[in-house]
Structure 1
Amino acid sequence: MDQQRVYQVALNFIPGIGHMLVKQLVSYCGSAEQVFKTTKGKLLKIPGIGEHTASLISSDAVLKRAEDELNNCEKHGTEILLYTDKTFPKRLKQINDAPSLIYVKGKADLNNEKVVSIVGTRKATEYGKRLTEELIEQLTPHNPLIISGLAYGIDIAAHKASLKHNLSTVGVMASGIDIIYPAIHRETSLKMLENGALITENPIGSKPDAHRFPARNRIIAGMCDAVVVIEAAKKGGALITANIANSYNKDVFAVPGDLKNEFSEGCNALIKSNQAHLIQSAKDIEYIMNWEASAKPMAPKLFDTTILESNEKLVVEELQKQKEAILIDNLSWTTQLEPSKLASILLNLEFKGYVNSLPGKRFRLATRK
């Protein structure tokens, strides 16, 4: 067993330590292993670590529990992805309260080029279910990863429609990976594993307690490029997911509905308050997200960089190395250009036709049509 992974997983079993504090501990100590080898006196100097927590870190109990958890994961055909792993969902990694690890069962590419989360009421109408399938069918040329919460109503309709149209779909769970909730969706969840996945941040054996659902919703919002709300009442998990997505600067879309239908109230309110784009078909997503209608990747243009200024040339050459769009913060790091200066350069390059700007402060070379 990889002892380093034992240390990393063990951090998550220290009572009273959340995901943000796990990352802070590793940052202060240098590695997960060093957290457990740091003296109690030094641990107490770390913000957020008190006497009780420092004593728990010094105990061997959490290390034993981590070993047991890794063994259980192997038995359940489940992988633990750590925040530091290359295959950890890159979009999720960008949010402040990202989980420090997730449990994954299945074959989905969690870093698919295009990712859409679809959510809605558990008491979906036939109209809502039909809209869900129509939207997913329209999105099929983009081959997106479809994410939802495996719940009744719109969630399970999204998963089933994805399976029908051979799209990879991921169910984000509020329980342990071994507890399918609701149990009636077990058959669908098994089919999802063939070309999709189930994921959770909760240890094996965790029950779907009420407090786990809002936490689950942040993962649904954090893993995607866009959140689509099909039907929603005034209150509920779908609106929570939409609000979280807005706080992450994700694009949110909502389907307008009958003014007299209670399950349209949430969507209509999101649109009315400018918290969601009004959506009638996948074309609205394509327009807002700047997605080409063709699923075939466009060939990059061949640029003459000799006419560019030195920093512009530096940025274009760096973008040529990237296989996909890159966040401006990452581009700033690779080019060693200040973010404010880089933003100005990217704007100029966009005017000149060298660069395409995408939602979420991402950029890529312009494509040849």
Structure 2
Amino acid sequence: MNSDDLLYALALQHIPNLGDTTAKKLLGKFGNSRNIFQEKKSNLLKIDGVGQVRIQELNNSSHLKAAEEELKFIESNKIKVHYFQDNDYPEKLKHCLDGPIILFSKGNIDLARKRVISVVGTRRITSHGVSFCEEFIENLAVLDPVIVSGFAYGVDITAQKSAMKNGLQTIGCLAHGLNQIYPKSHKKYMKEVEENGGFFTDFWSTDNFDRNNFLKRNRIIAGLSEATIVIESAEKGGALVTADIANSYDREVFAVPGRPSDKYSLGCNNLIKAQKAHVLTSAADLAYILNWEIERKHEPVQKQLFIDLEEEEQVLYEFLKSSGKTELDLLALNCKVPTFKAASLLLNMELKGAVRPLPGKLFEII
């Protein structure tokens, strides 16, 4: 997109209460933003969602002036701009009707052929939540997913720090422009995040910081990913809004269950109870539901001398040890485990380096 096209697209984005959905309708009809500003009023009124007030705003020169100033900020700060019709716009977000027409980024984000998941939850994460989040991401590392979150306190920053610790790309979706950071205490993580992913936002440098921005930001968190994971949440909270948005996009949602008496498990338990989320107890649960397969390099595998297996995993391991290569259904039948459960257990064992899959749904111990 050249500077002139970007200028008019920014001006369109700047119009109050127009919204991304209506903006996309206009662009679909008239081709580009410049055409919209030059179109006859009678033709604009034919578009559903465009009324007299919005048409008057299209004739307001202040939007182009504001766009000129924002364009100067973009160019002087080397901000990357992703237009929703361009190839570098996140693919999964393209399928969201209310996804932003323009997305801004900084860093080294690379979503090409990547698995992308969002990890969200309470700002008041418990020690149990921290432990689960760190272990979950560590076990996922072999699958090389991109970890998306909101760069906020609690679950967000725990997930993003865990991603970087395990060599994974991470993306922070911000509720403000790229000229500031919230919370300020997380400024110390910005450089590392930009080196190992980066930041996305659809807010301008001139946008005032507002709590309502978080709700708008959440659609990007949900839209970027094929699945949203809620680690911990109270009965009400922004993470549940993100989960609802993900469900509206027909994306998978997972929630970590907890005791009914735990305040920050109520939201997760309610999602599961209402069948709005899959139960998540391990990385294997996620990989099984999403049908992720481990891409292994052709390197010799060093057998571990001691492998920590759960009781049900040990049963499968002992059967494979005595019987050799075994097909999934036959293994499940002999070990008296439902096939879906055996598949989940085997994936967890694969992540631990205890077994490996073979063509034809066969498995063997390593």
Query: Normalised by the shorter chain, which TM-score bucket?
Result: 0.7 to 0.9
Over residues 113-147 of structure 1, what are the superposed CA-to-partner deviations in whole Å (9 max), with x where a residue is unaligned? 20010011100011111111111111111111100
Over residues 207-244 of structure 1, what are the superposed CA-to-partner deviations in whole Å (9 max), with x where a residue is unaligned? 33121111111111111011111111100011111111
Correspondence for 1:181: 182
Residue 161 of structure 2 aligns with an amino acid whose one-letter code is K
Correspondence for 1:201: 202
Residue 172 of structure 1 aligns with an amino acid whose one-letter code is C
Structure 1 CA distance for aligned equivalents of residues 132 and 58 of structure 2: 50
Structure 2 CA distance for aligned equivalents of residues 276 and 240 of structure 1: 13
Aligned ranges 1:123-162 → 2 under 5 Å? 123-162=124-163
Following TM superposition, by how much is the alpha carbon of 1:15 offset from its aligned partner in structure 2, in angstroms? 2.4
Structure 1 CA distance for aligned equivalents of residues 294 and 83 of structure 2: 34
Over residues 309-329 of structure 1, what are the superposed CA-to-partner deviations in whole Å (9 max), with x where a residue is unaligned? xxxxxxxxxxxxxxxxxxxxx
Correspondence for 2:111: 110
Correspondence for 1:221: 222
Following TM superposition, by how much is the alpha carbon of 1:206 offset from its aligned partner in structure 2, in angstroms? 2.3
* 1:132–1:158 Cα contact (<8 Å) kept: yes
Correspondence for 1:321: none
RMSD over aligned CA atoms reads 1.9
Residue 233 of structure 1 aligns with an amino acid whose one-letter code is A
* 1:107–1:197 Cα contact (<8 Å) kept: yes
Kindly tell me: are residues 146 and 112 of structure 1, through their superposed partners in 2, closer, same or farther at Cα, counting changes over 3 Å? farther
Aligned ranges 1:49-68 → 2 under 5 Å? 49-68=50-69
Structure 1 CA distance for aligned equivalents of residues 180 and 213 of structure 2: 13
Residue 143 of structure 1 aligns with an amino acid whose one-letter code is D
Residue 214 of structure 1 aligns with an amino acid whose one-letter code is L
* 1:91–1:222 Cα contact (<8 Å) kept: yes
Is the counterpart of residue 265 in structure 1 residue 284 in structure 2? no
Structure 2 CA distance for aligned equivalents of residues 42 and 15 of structure 1: 20
Over residues 46-92 of structure 1, what are the superposed CA-to-partner deviations in whole Å (9 max), with x where a residue is unaligned? 33333332232123332222122121012223112111111111111
Correspondence for 1:355: none
Correspondence for 2:291: 290
Kindly tell me: are residues 42 and 274 of structure 1, through their superposed partners in 2, closer, same or farther at Cα, counting changes over 3 Å? closer
Kindly tell me: are residues 5 and 38 of structure 1, through their superposed partners in 2, closer, same or farther at Cα, counting changes over 3 Å? same
Following TM superposition, by how much is the alpha carbon of 1:368 offset from its aligned partner in structure 2, in angstroms? 6.5
Correspondence for 1:12: 13
Structure 1 CA distance for aligned equivalents of residues 278 and 187 of structure 2: 33
Is the counterpart of residue 99 in structure 1 residue 88 in structure 2? no
Structure 2 CA distance for aligned equivalents of residues 220 and 156 of structure 1: 14
* 1:87–1:110 Cα contact (<8 Å) kept: no
Structure 1 residues 107-116 or 158-167, which shifts more?
107-116
What is the SS of the residue equivalent to 1:227?
A: strand
Kindly tell me: are residues 249 and 295 of structure 1, through their superposed partners in 2, closer, same or farther at Cα, counting changes over 3 Å? farther
Kindly tell me: are residues 112 and 121 of structure 1, through their superposed partners in 2, closer, same or farther at Cα, counting changes over 3 Å? farther
Correspondence for 1:169: 170
Kindly tell me: are residues 43 and 141 of structure 1, through their superposed partners in 2, closer, same or farther at Cα, counting changes over 3 Å? same
Following TM superposition, by how much is the alpha carbon of 1:279 offset from its aligned partner in structure 2, in angstroms? 1.2
Residue 91 of structure 2 aligns with an amino acid whose one-letter code is K
Number of residue pairs the alignment of both structures matches: 300
Higher radius of gyration, 1 or 2: 2
Structure 2 CA distance for aligned equivalents of residues 44 and 273 of structure 1: 41
Correspondence for 2:311: none
Structure 2 CA distance for aligned equivalents of residues 61 and 270 of structure 1: 45
List gaps (5 residues or longer) in structure 2.
Answer: 299-357, 361-366
Residue 57 of structure 2 aligns with an amino acid whose one-letter code is L
* 1:234–1:262 Cα contact (<8 Å) kept: yes
Following TM superposition, by how much is the alpha carbon of 1:295 offset from its aligned partner in structure 2, in angstroms? 5.0
Over residues 130-189 of structure 1, what are the superposed CA-to-partner deviations in whole Å (9 max), with x where a residue is unaligned? 111111111111111100011110000001111111111000111112221111111112
Kindly tell me: are residues 254 and 29 of structure 1, through their superposed partners in 2, closer, same or farther at Cα, counting changes over 3 Å? same
- Percent identical among aligned pairs is 41
Structure 1 CA distance for aligned equivalents of residues 13 and 63 of structure 2: 9
Structure 1 residues 24-33 or 167-176, which shifts more?
24-33
Residue 17 of structure 1 aligns with an amino acid whose one-letter code is L
Correspondence for 2:304: none
What is the SS of the residue equivalent to 1:233?
A: coil
Correspondence for 1:120: 121
Correspondence for 2:239: 238
Aligned ranges 1:19-34 → 2 under 5 Å? 19-34=20-35
* 1:112–1:145 Cα contact (<8 Å) kept: no
Following TM superposition, by how much is the alpha carbon of 1:41 offset from its aligned partner in structure 2, in angstroms? 3.7
Structure 2 CA distance for aligned equivalents of residues 5 and 230 of structure 1: 38
Kindly tell me: are residues 234 and 50 of structure 1, through their superposed partners in 2, closer, same or farther at Cα, counting changes over 3 Å? same
Residue 2 of structure 1 aligns with an amino acid whose one-letter code is S
Following TM superposition, by how much is the alpha carbon of 1:111 offset from its aligned partner in structure 2, in angstroms? 4.2
What is the SS of the residue equivalent to 1:49?
A: coil
Is the counterpart of residue 276 in structure 1 residue 287 in structure 2? no
Correspondence for 2:77: 76
